[in-house]
Amino acid sequence: MSKLVSFFQHGSESPVPVAAEPPPPTPEPESTAVSPKPDPVPPRKVFGKRKPVNPDLGNKLSDIAEKNSGELVASRFQMVGLNKILEKLADVSDDTAEKAFLVAEKTLQAHLTEEDVYEPHEFSFLVCFANLDSAQAAQKAKQIEAEIQEKILSEGFDAEYSEISTETRTLKVSGEELSNSDDLLNLIAEKIVRETDRVKKGLKIWSSKYLAICEIDLAPVISKSQRGAGFRLAKFSKRTVADIGQLLKIGASPMEVAAEADCMMVRRASEIVFQGDRENDPLMVVDVHYSTLSDQSHREKYMAACRPITEVCANSLMARIIYSADKPPNLRFSGLVSKLDSLFQSRIMQIKTPQLGSVDLQACKIPVICMNFREIEPVMARYQQELQKFIQKVHACRSRLLVDDVSDKETGGKLFELGVDFVSLRT
């Protein structure tokens, strides 16, 4: 459970009268003129069908399933942006779209082992990981997704081309299914869709029941002058974190659980704000994981949860973007987090210690950078100069540094001496 704790801390209608049916129209006499045939419309390429499916695909999938007790851990990378572009813009050339698809395919291939199985399928890629469990596969799939997006943007394509939705599921399969299927790709894709629908229904039922009883602790934030900083951090209680962790047991990925937790936190926090003194209470900071913003379906769900809430509470809420990847934010970061501007009074960003010195703070445009003390503590003595340089870099970009989860006031004082602007004590 320590990993999970770390993961989440960082009416009636009147009848309408029916009009009498009009008499049937008199049919027009058939014309003897021959209508000209329309010009034939050249069919679009179906991406992912450029080459025949590997004839050995069934054997490879059977080997993986047999090794994993009749299960396949599969991911589907849907190029949803590319699909939308081709649907709405007739003047987009197939060559341009094909190039974007090939960039994604080449990037994906670089991350797979010889035992893994992958095939293009329409506007998506289907991958079966040979040696990863569901959580490991979900994490790797998100890393691959982020790199594909980065590569597409760095090649000069518009941001919409980089829109990807990734699903990772554990699928039950039998050797008979695999050997008798006429279309293995559709078999896997349909199983992923059915499993995704099952998980989404489970998440919806769970959150509707749990929202009223989830617990949030409020951690005050103090400045170097020992005065309140004007905002406080909303955190799930340990019991709530443990309860949220149970969602993994219904097959939800860590990213889906994070998105569900983000939606629950903003709803619960807004209730607390609405019941309090909005004129005098400090601002409340609620967490939103970057993985929630970077995935289209999770982002749309979160925005839908926020809009009716922030119309009333927008001036009382701040967003803390939890960026938990080891690599620095990619080119999509600023565009995605800017979508929160109309929903919250301001935003802060939590990063991991390995990103010291590698984050482009100027590009991120975040007024407050947050770090967890549990990560800083091991490096405070050995890498004090590096930490001070990072603090100076933060200040040079007109941002401030907040260290969260500080063990005691004495340690908070030491952090202030290093140049940290705000600390929040462990609750």
The domain that contains 183 carries what CATH number?
Answer: 3.30.70.270
Q: Are residues 345 and 388 in the same domain?
A: yes
CB atoms inside a 10 Å sphere around CB 226: 10
Q: Considering the entire predicted model, what is its pTM? A: 0.78
Question: Considering just the CA atoms, what is the radius of gyration of the chain in Å?
Answer: 26
pLDDT of residue 168 exceeding 90: yes
pLDDT of residue 5 exceeding 60: no
Q: Are residues 269 and 187 in the same domain?
A: no
Q: Are residues 157 and 232 in the same domain?
A: no
Does residue 46 lie within any of the structural domains?
no
Cβ atoms of 141 and 200 within 8 Å: the answer is no
d(CA 280, CA 274): 12
CATH number at residue 360: 3.20.20.450
Q: Are residues 317 and 353 in the same domain?
A: yes
Does residue 33 lie within any of the structural domains?
no
Q: Are residues 88 and 237 in the same domain?
A: no
Band of residue 389 on the pLDDT scale cut at 50, 70, 90? confident
Q: Are residues 222 and 190 in the same domain?
A: no
Q: Are residues 163 and 226 in the same domain?
A: no
pLDDT of residue 32 exceeding 50: no
d(CA 395, CA 168): 40
Q: Are residues 97 and 134 in the same domain?
A: yes
pLDDT of residue 81 exceeding 60: yes
Does residue 32 lie within any of the structural domains?
no
What's residue 177's pLDDT?
86
Does residue 382 lie within any of the structural domains?
yes
Question: How much is the mean pLDDT over the chain?
Answer: 80
Q: Whose structure tokens read 């008499």? A: 23
Does residue 26 lie within any of the structural domains?
no
pLDDT of residue 35 exceeding 60: no
pLDDT of residue 12 exceeding 70: no
Residue of 170 and 383 predicted with greater confidence: 170
Residue of 317 and 384 predicted with greater confidence: 317
Instruction: Domain count for the chain, please give it.
Output: 2
Which of 139, 167, 200 is the endpoint of a domain?
Answer: 200
Residue of 336 and 86 predicted with greater confidence: 336
- Which strands, in side-by-side order, build the sheet including 165-172? 117-121, 124-129, 71-78, 165-172
What's residue 292's pLDDT?
92
Does residue 41 lie within any of the structural domains?
no
Q: Are residues 253 and 314 in the same domain?
A: yes
Which residues of 173-240 form beta strands (DSSP E)? 216-223, 228-236
First to last CA, the chain: 18
Domain boundaries, position 66: 57-200
Residue of 324 and 153 predicted with greater confidence: 153
pLDDT of residue 7 exceeding 60: no
Band of residue 310 on the pLDDT scale cut at 50, 70, 90? low
pLDDT of residue 19 exceeding 60: no
CB atoms inside a 10 Å sphere around CB 84: 15
pLDDT of residue 6 exceeding 70: no
Percentage of the chain modeled with pLDDT above 70: 80
Q: Are residues 238 and 324 in the same domain?
A: yes
Dihedral pair phi/psi, residue 91, rounded to 5°: -90, 0
Which residues make Cβ contacts (< 8 Å) with residue 364, sequence separation at least 6?
329, 333, 334, 337, 349
pLDDT digits (tens, 9 = 90+) for 173-220: 988 888 888 788 889 999 999 999 999 999 999 988 888 788 999 999
**HSE-CB for 281 with a 13 A CA cutoff:** 19
- Give the range among 89-93, 128-132, 392-396 with minimum mean pLDDT: 89-93
What's residue 328's pLDDT?
62
